[in-house]
Amino acid sequence: MKAYAKLTDNVFFDIQNSTCDELKKSREILDKINKRDHYKLVSEAIPSKTAKIEFTKNTEEDEKKILEAIIKCRSVDDANEDKKLKDNLLVDIAFFSFGREDKNPVNKVYFYSKVEGKDHAFRMKRKHVSRILPEIYCERQIRLYIKCTDQKLLDEAKMRFKEWCKQEKMNGKWKFDL
C-alpha cells in the first residue's frame, strides 16, 4: 500500500521511455492514448421495458450473445464480411443504478423529525418523500464500438445494429448518428 501511495505520473513516462521488450505492449497502448486512437462508438441503445432482450448476471456472456445477434442481422449472406465485423466490433453493456439495482434506495433511508416529537429513526413512504423521485432505479446501455477506421465496415455495423434494435423491439433511445 505504501508503494501505491507514492505512485505518480512518472510511471507513465517511465513506461513510454523504456526500451524493455516486456513493456512493448504497454508502450503501444500509451501511444494510442496519446494519439487519441481509441475505438469509435458506432451506436448505443437503451432498452425499454418492452424490449425482448433478457440480461443475465454474466455481462461478458450477454455481450457475446448480443454481438453474435448483431452480426447475424444482415441483408446479404457474406461470411467474409461477418468475420471482419466479428474481429472489429465490441459490445459493452453499461449498468447504472442508485446502488441497489432495481430497488428504491430511499426505502433504506431513515428519517428523523424534531417537529413531530419523534426521537427515533423512522422510514417514510414513497408518497411522503418527494414527487420527483424516479420510477426506474436502474438502466442498461448497450454500446457498440468498432476497432478499425474502415468507413464501409462502420456503415455496415450501424445498419446491423439498427436492424438488431428493431428485432429486439428496443423502443428506448437509439443513437445512430454519433
Winning range, highest mean pLDDT, from 7-16, 50-59, 101-110, 125-134: 7-16
For residue 68, the model assigns a pLDDT of: 94
Mean pLDDT of 38-52: 86
Greatest CA separation for the chain: 74
Mean pLDDT of 35-42: 90
| Short-list 145, 162, 163, CA closest to 154 | 145
User: Does the pLDDT value for residue 24 go beyond 90?
Assistant: yes
User: Does the pLDDT value for residue 27 go beyond 90?
Assistant: yes
Q: What's the mean per-residue pLDDT of the chain?
A: 84
Q: Tens digit of pLDDT for each residue in 141-175?
A: 899 999 998 899 999 999 999 999 988 887 655 66
Which residues are within 8 A (CB) of 94 and not within 5 positions of it... i.e. 6 or more apart? 140, 141, 143
Reported confidence tier of residue 177, pLDDT bands at 50, 70, 90: low
| Short-list 90, 99, 98, CA closest to 44 | 90
Which residues are within 8 A (CB) of 152 and not within 5 positions of it... i.e. 6 or more apart? none
- Characterize 133-164 residue by residue with b for buried, 16 or more Cβ atoms within 10 angstroms of its Cβ, and e for exposed: eeeebeebbbbbbbeeeeeebeebbbebbbeb
Mean pLDDT of 110-127: 75
Distance, C-alpha 150 to centroid of its chain: 23
State the pTM of this model. Answer: 0.73
